[in-house]
A and B are shown apart, each in its own frame.
Chain A
Amino acid sequence: MIVGSQKPFDEIWEMIQSFKKILVLGCNTCVAVCHAGGSKEAEILSEMIKVKAKQMSHSIDVNSMSVMRQCENEYLDEFMDNIKSTDLVLSMACGVGVNFLSDKINAVPVYPALNTSFYGGVPKEGLFIELCAGCGNCILHLTGGICPIARCSKSLMNGPCGGTDKGKCEVSKDIDCAWFLIVERMKLLGALEKLYDVQPPRDWSTSFHGGPRKISLEHIKAYEEQQGGQIR
């Protein structure tokens, strides 16, 4: 899922303080799971803004609400009147939601309350770790299910660099060396020899380096092309 964290409150205040009517809009899927942007956090942020406004003797009308996902039309549609009737939407969605909503409403500014960080897993309560870079060309079958693109600080594809120390990355003792893990995992899987071949330079066009990406389901795309319009 997508992991993000809230921007520092001062930064948020700076960006919103000139608006009179603000809707803090939570997103109840990914960023709720990481306790950054769900309904709860939206209400907390809205209360924070109210306190701050009072302290600064600003009159700001702040409300909070949340939708299941800000990145899909159907979830947003029923709240659009609400959303449009405000001066500013302070979105607590990931960047996807902020973009999606901005594109959808156009005329009302949508500001981000979060910094969107990565695709992560939740190994335990309150901990979120990056495990995938969304590079569009998965090689996890070759690396014991551990992604060297996302989890090696240098995205090396042919083994560890010289910086590995006691299984940790040279960047920080808090980061596991992905290649150390890969080698150990492959040994365990009895598949170490899969690492012996030199991986050639890869095609990054499937990642962001190919420009913004789009995926359409083939059968729907084909049908629409044939019909000359959107399916309904």
Chain B
Amino acid sequence: MKSGSNLERVILSGNPAVTAELGPPMSADGSEIRHKAKLLKGFCDAANITDCQTAVVRISSIAGAVIALQEGLEPVMQMTCRDRNRIAIQADLLGAHALGLRNCLCIAGDHQKFSAAGKLKGHPGAKNVYDVDTCQLVGILKKMRDEGLQQGGDKLEVPPRFFIGASWTPGGEPLDFRPVNLKKKIDAGADFIQTQGIYDIDIFRSQMEKIRAMGLHERAAILGGIIVPRTAMMLKYMDSSVAGVSVPKSLIERMAKAKERAGDDKKKAKEYQEEEGIKIAVELIHQVLETPGVKGVHIQAIEWESAIEKIVKSAGLYPRPVFE
């Protein structure tokens, strides 16, 4: 085993893996992480602790991951290329490992421009780093773990042993380059892949066909991304505004009908849509898991961690395997 993490064990066992996501708060108080960890614990194999997603300042991924660990939830720490140069990245990785973290997802990170959105002012004037990109970051982790060397070549007395993750946007443009993109991340050393949210199963399946032809599904565990829809509006927004995500009309209509059914009752509208959203998520989980080459799902219930239990149970993925 590369890392000995629970996630790695689940994948090695051949069971479909389930990961979830936990967003740390914009607060110096870690209790919210503890609360969310409790909601997720037992319903997933590991949960991503996001690294200042949308470039908004929050409790750092490493600190959040340690809190989750204390609560008995295995974390997947995230490391973006946006905020640290290779020195800070490697130092943080060593520290994270020392604190008991074993999974790390390498991502580019949302541009700082996105931090100013809605009511948030964010830090659009921040300097970004991008000393290394995602592929290179993956390579750094692998080099540290497998060769015991820093990127610069200096030796590490005790190498950090991370289960290395990377993201993939199967529906992103240019479509025909996306498999190459994935291959480069796997070549660089990614052990598991969490994909961008999948709604259009046809696009995902056709991309997976190419992945299988390239044998990539055997070199890394691909976990299909499921973003749980909560409202019809959200689906429409995801379709029109989230890069690499397209939502079939039929799904948007289903959510819209659920809303209509409630008439003017706003409370009911929310309830019906959430019910329908969970149903859709479960269907998508099935479709994704039925796709050859897929080793699990990455379920994101954004600011709705309480839904995970119901989804995982409805999808027949409960209970989660336990290892001694």
A and B touch in the complex (CB under 8 A): yes
A residues in contact (CB < 8 Å) with B = 153-167, 170-172, 177, 180, 183-184, 192, 195-201, 204
- Pair count A-B, CB < 8 A: 103
Number of residues of chain B lying within 8 A (CB) of chain A:
37
A211 to B139 CA separation, bound complex (whole angstroms): 27
Task: Closest A residue to B177 by CB, please name it.
Answer: A183
With a CB–CB cut-off of 8 A, which chain B residues contact A163? Answer: 108, 110-111, 243-244
Contacts A153-B111, A166-B173, A201-B140; is A158 near B244 (CB within 8 Å)?
no
With a CB–CB cut-off of 8 A, which chain B residues contact A172? Answer: 113
With a CB–CB cut-off of 8 A, which chain A residues contact B86? Answer: 201
> B88 to nearest A CB, angstroms?
14
Is B298 in contact with chain A by the CB < 8 A criterion? no
* Interchain CB contact under 8 A, A204 and B172: no
* Interchain CB contact under 8 A, B111 and A158: no
* Interchain CB contact under 8 A, B243 and A156: no
With a CB–CB cut-off of 8 A, which chain B residues contact A170? Answer: 110-111, 114, 243
Is B184 in contact with chain A by the CB < 8 A criterion? yes
Task: Closest A residue to B114 by CB, please name it.
Answer: A170
8 Å CB contact of B184 from A154, A183, A198: A198
Is B188 in contact with chain A by the CB < 8 A criterion? yes
* Interchain CB contact under 8 A, B173 and A154: no
Per-position binary interface string of chain B over residues 169-181, scored 1 when its CB falls under 8 Å from any chain A CB and 0 otherwise: 1001110010011
* Interchain CB contact under 8 A, B134 and A161: yes
> B55 to nearest A CB, angstroms?
11
* Interchain CB contact under 8 A, B130 and A154: yes
> A174 to nearest B CB, angstroms?
12
With a CB–CB cut-off of 8 A, which chain A residues contact B183? Answer: 196
> A204 to nearest B CB, angstroms?
7
* Interchain CB contact under 8 A, A157 and B111: no
With a CB–CB cut-off of 8 A, which chain A residues contact B130? Answer: 154-156
Known: A159-B135, A172-B113. 18 other contacts (CB 8 A): A154-B82, A154-B108, A154-B109, A154-B130, A155-B130, A156-B130, A157-B136, A158-B184, A162-B167, A163-B110, A164-B169, A165-B244, A170-B114, A180-B174, A198-B136, A198-B187, A200-B139, A201-B140
Task: Closest B residue to A169 by CB, please name it.
Answer: B111
